[in-house]
Structure 1
Amino acid sequence: MHVTFLGTSGAVPTTARNPSAVMVRREGERFLFDAGEGTQRQMMRFSTGFAVSHVFVSHLHGDHVLGIPGLLQTWDFNDREEPVAIHTPGGTRRRIRDLITVTGNEPSFPVRIHEVTPGDVALDGEDFEVRAIATDHRATSVGYALVEDDRKGRFDREKAEEELGIEPGPEYSKLHSGESVELDDGTVVEPEAVVGPPRPGRRLVYTGDTSPTQSVVEAAEEADLLIHDATFAEDRRERAGQTGHSTAKQAAEIANRAGAKRLALTHVSTRYAGQEGRLEDEAREVFEGDAFLPDDGDELDVPFPDADGPDED
């Protein structure tokens, strides 16, 4: 799972930061979480590729959706034929449709708009789900949790071959798939003898804009990466509450309560241009894991929980 931060600014872009957009590449698929103004140019600039199959919209404030019309038009110019799905909070489908057709053009490829409410499975993949989660903003909003299924336990080849005398072959696959096998001498070997317990998949949570809320804590339980609103520093905590946002410290408190491993602070107010380290410092004073404030274009890999450790570019 590979993440590219395409836009990390708050409502207003800066010369260094674009409005909200995050690209997630997983097993050959590309998912786009929000698409602020200029997202398609960021995709070109940071070489993410354009083969996006799903766009997940957190809410319909302009800094999260104004990149959608241009992106769709570019796909049209490039003769796209594959459908794209846009997932959007309940009650906003018509507004997304109006946004797409505002120039009077209808895309030549299928655009499927799906409304989601907290608790819905927005995307049911073969071995993962993207679930809508409740957030607390001044508009109808949701966040998203990309949650992978548990993986098979580790296969102990050494024990299978040396202790049990099972030669490499189809019996290994059967055991690893949960089937028992019978050896030539009539001995039955159960999968538990050579296969360890199931291993957890990865969990990535994207909040979009939100005040601190228990629903994010629950969705981000032991998350490998939590991408959380951190619009303000602590000196603007009251302002954060009034506008439906979070401070960096509040984001860190949420991450701690959830037991998340890594915390990415995003949606940074332009008032902190050139002073972003202040937000990072405030979060790190609280968060027990790895807290960081990405720049536009920053990338990172999200390893499996049982891997040696994260690799960050």
Structure 2
Amino acid sequence: MSMRVTFLGTGGAVPTTQRGPSAFLLEREGERLLFDCGEGTQRQMMRFGTGFSLSHLFVTHLHGDHVLGIPGLIQTMDFNDRSEPLAVYGPPGSKGHLTNLIEAGGYRPDFPLTVREVRPGAVALDGDDYEVRTFATEHRNVSSVGYALVEDDRRGRFDREKAEELGVPVGPKFGRLHDGEAVELEDGTVVEPDEVVGDPRPGRRFVYTGDTRPVDATVDVVDAPDLLVHDATFAEEWADRARGTGHSTGREAAEIANRAGARRLALTHISSRYAADASPIEREARGVFDGEAAFVPDDGRKVDVPYPDDE
């Protein structure tokens, strides 16, 4: 099963020719989830070939560089005769503002659309074999949340050699055992699943903070995320500015990643001060967090998220 993140917009509040405002698309088993939707997101989706068939849109907070792409994207979906429903999620107090934004100019889409407020510490979306959790973040003068997509544990590995040693015939009984059902052999022996199936294996875990100061909730929402996408607006030279505006530095993001046990760290919301060269942010983060596992993605970069036991 595949999981891939496309970085549609990795810039800060002021877009540059290199980086658009915040937007990240996660594709998982044919389903597409969009996290934030800054100005121009729909054009980035065209440019980088993600398509528009979203099922859910998660908004971290209401600052313009995270939401101003929503009206255009929804109208384009409508012009393309979309009929599938779309759910939009936002932090406490956001429903009215998001609804007004969607309906700008008196426009209302013809396809079903719902807007839901989600509080920190809740499950925003309970999927078939995953959930999207919310956690509290800390940004300046605004209600904000982060999101963590957490897959259910997978079945343990099936030990075919052991099953055959126990006399289980090759065929349907293998599948029944792997599904957790005991089977009876011709001689009356009962083979239990735990005799031939290993311990459950963890699914994948993706965490996105939106704009935030370093907070404990990012560490606590899930153990050992496979990919943490964290605010890293500034390098340490602007640490005071980061504190004053409710953002993080690359070093601070790396420290959170270490505490969370993250496997990879994507540094985003890059200030326009670093339009020509974001390497100071990346270099400082790599000095704290496992070398090349920390990176500043360019717009359009696609990152596959493998299972923890696949690497």
TM-score range, shorter chain: over 0.9
| Aligned 1:188-203 pairs, distance under 5 A | 188-203=190-205
Q: Which amino acid aligns with 2:158?
A: F
For the pair 1:247 / 2:249, whether they are aligned, the reply is yes
| SS of corresponding position for 2:17 | coil
2:76 aligns with one of 74, 77, 82: 74
The equivalent residue for 2:54 is: 52
| SS of corresponding position for 1:103 | helix
Between the two proteins, the alignment pairs up a number of residues equal to 307
The equivalent residue for 1:288 is: 290
Q: Which amino acid aligns with 2:160?
A: R
| SS of corresponding position for 1:112 | strand
1:156 aligns with one of 143, 154, 159: 159
Contact 1:220–1:255 under 8 Å retained in 2? no
CA RMSD for the aligned pairs? 0.8
The equivalent residue for 1:311 is: none
Quick one: distance in 2 between partners of 1:77 and 1:2? 27
Quick one: distance in 2 between partners of 1:280 and 1:130? 28
Q: Which amino acid aligns with 1:277?
A: S
The equivalent residue for 2:306 is: 303
The equivalent residue for 2:104 is: 102
Contact 1:220–1:260 under 8 Å retained in 2? no
Q: Which amino acid aligns with 1:89?
A: P
Quick one: distance in 2 between partners of 1:221 and 1:215? 11
| SS of corresponding position for 2:105 | coil
| Aligned 1:124-143 pairs, distance under 5 A | 124-138=126-140, 139-143=142-146
The equivalent residue for 2:21 is: 19
Unpaired segments ≥5 residues, structure 1: 309-313
The equivalent residue for 1:41 is: 43
Q: Which amino acid aligns with 1:231?
A: T
| Aligned 1:223-302 pairs, distance under 5 A | 223-288=225-290, 290-302=293-305
The equivalent residue for 1:89 is: 91
1:221 Cα shift?
A: 2.2
User: CA-to-partner distance for each residue in 1:182-225, whole Å, 9 max, x for gaps?
Assistant: 10011111111110000000100000000000000112420000
Query: When the two structures are superposed, what TM-score results if normalisation uses the length of structure 2?
Result: 0.97
User: CA-to-partner distance for each residue in 1:235-270, whole Å, 9 max, x for gaps?
Assistant: 111111111100000000000011100000000000
Q: Which amino acid aligns with 1:157?
A: R
User: CA-to-partner distance for each residue in 1:89-114, whole Å, 9 max, x for gaps?
Assistant: 01110000110111211111111001
| SS of corresponding position for 2:106 | coil
Contact 1:145–1:220 under 8 Å retained in 2? yes
Quick one: distance in 2 between partners of 1:195 and 1:167? 16
The equivalent residue for 2:149 is: 146
After the TM superposition, which parts of structure 1 deviate over 6 Å for at least 4 consecutive aligned residues? none
Q: Which amino acid aligns with 1:140?
A: S
User: CA-to-partner distance for each residue in 1:136-178, whole Å, 9 max, x for gaps?
Assistant: 01110000000001000000112212x1221222211221111
Quick one: distance in 2 between partners of 1:275 and 1:43? 24
Quick one: distance in 2 between partners of 1:33 and 1:22? 5
Quick one: distance in 1 between partners of 2:21 and 2:93? 23
1:275 Cα shift?
A: 1.7
CA 1:283–1:220 in structure 2 vs 1: closer, same or farther (change >3 Å)?
A: farther
Quick one: distance in 2 between partners of 1:150 and 1:220? 13
Quick one: distance in 2 between partners of 1:129 and 1:21? 20
Quick one: distance in 2 between partners of 1:142 and 1:169? 49
Quick one: distance in 1 between partners of 2:223 and 2:258? 9
The equivalent residue for 2:117 is: 115
Q: Which amino acid aligns with 1:306?
A: D
| SS of corresponding position for 2:308 | coil
Query: When the two structures are superposed, what TM-score results if normalisation uses the length of structure 1?
Result: 0.97
Quick one: distance in 2 between partners of 1:267 and 1:132? 19
1:288 Cα shift?
A: 2.4
Q: Which amino acid aligns with 1:141?
A: S
1:169 aligns with one of 168, 171, 177: 171
Quick one: distance in 2 between partners of 1:240 and 1:117? 25
Q: Which amino acid aligns with 1:205?
A: V
Contact 1:20–1:267 under 8 Å retained in 2? yes
Quick one: distance in 2 between partners of 1:268 and 1:17? 8
Quick one: distance in 2 between partners of 1:103 and 1:279? 40
Q: Which amino acid aligns with 2:173?
A: E
Quick one: distance in 2 between partners of 1:220 and 1:33? 18
